[in-house]
Amino acid sequence: MFLRAPLIALISIALAGLVWQGLVVALHVPHYVIPAPDAIVAAAISQRHVLLAQAGFTVRATLIGLVVSLAFALACAVGFTRSREAERAALPLLIAFRSAPVPAIAPIAMLFLGRGIGTSILVVTIVSFFPLLVNLMRGLASVDRNAAELFHVYGAGFWQVFGMLRLPTALPFLFTGLRIAGAAALLGAMLSEWITGSHGLGNLILESADMRETELLWAAVLMSVGIAMGLFWLTATGERIVTRGA
């Protein structure tokens, strides 16, 4: 049962690859427009060290940025739950900060952090923070009123209510935010790599397009899709495990 969803996904991908291969061969599509899957696989194997190194850089920036944004979002959500004044004061500033376009933020961040992984982590943190914050705030506020009153009657403190009632209630909302933030985080990391010219799949895609290495370009694109699907699957699996035990 645990492996059923990935197995179905692999079968679907294999069928899509067969259809893709058949259409490219039957229609005589030039390889520089859309290469056949077997050519992409051959390029991925021959360039596996490059692909894995660049993918590792992107995944590292994505995961670190997600952890930082989750910690920041959780701290803000808890603070806003304790103080409505803090929410009214800080939330408009956070919304304004999130509304700034990433292509404008990345060059500014590069001036302070350079072209390395620091800029990518900052961009990932910015793009993934708001979905996590919104879902956490909604989850922490959606506790059952009768249960909250019962905790109040028994004299439970804020952290007791938070740990025993609010946080378990917010877990499904948290994982919903993680599914949204995961895809946004990967895109943010790759966009930062495009803009700054640092290492990663984003820069590899850009360089492959410039060099007309179409097979490697598609291999990098498909690898980024696979990483995004893997993040989604890991989040969904984590939600089932955690909520089952909560």
For domain 33-245, give the CATH superfamily.
Answer: MetI-like (1.10.3720.10)
178: its two tokens: 């993680």
Task: State the Cα–Cα distance between residues 129 and 79, nearest whole angstrom.
Answer: 15
Dump pLDDT digits (tens) for 128-157. 888 899 899 888 888 878 887 788 777 778
- Residue 234 near residue 186 (C-beta atoms within 8 A): no
10: its two tokens: 């692999």
pLDDT of 64: 94
> What share of the chain has pLDDT > 70, as a percent?
97
Domain edges within the chain: 33-245
Dump pLDDT digits (tens) for 169-200. 888 899 988 988 888 889 888 888 888 777 88
Handedness of CA 58, 116, 195, 50 (dihedral sign): negative
Residue 245 has pLDDT above 70, yes or no: no
Residue 5 — pLDDT band, cuts 50, 70, 90?
low
Task: State the Cα–Cα distance between residues 63 and 228, nearest whole angstrom.
Answer: 12
107: its two tokens: 């060059």
DSSP strands (E only) in the chain: none
Contacts of 110 (CB under 8 A, 6+ apart): 119, 195, 196
28 dihedral zone (left: phi>0; alpha: psi -120 to 50; beta): left
pLDDT of 17: 83
pLDDT of 143: 81
Task: State the Cα–Cα distance between residues 124 and 167, nearest whole angstrom.
Answer: 24
Span 2-25, average pLDDT: 78
| Higher pLDDT, residue 162 or 136 | 136
Distances, alpha carbon 112 to alpha carbons 81, 84, 123, 193, 225, in Å: 33, 34, 13, 16, 30
Residue 2 has pLDDT above 60, yes or no: no
Span 223-240, average pLDDT: 87
pLDDT of 246: 54
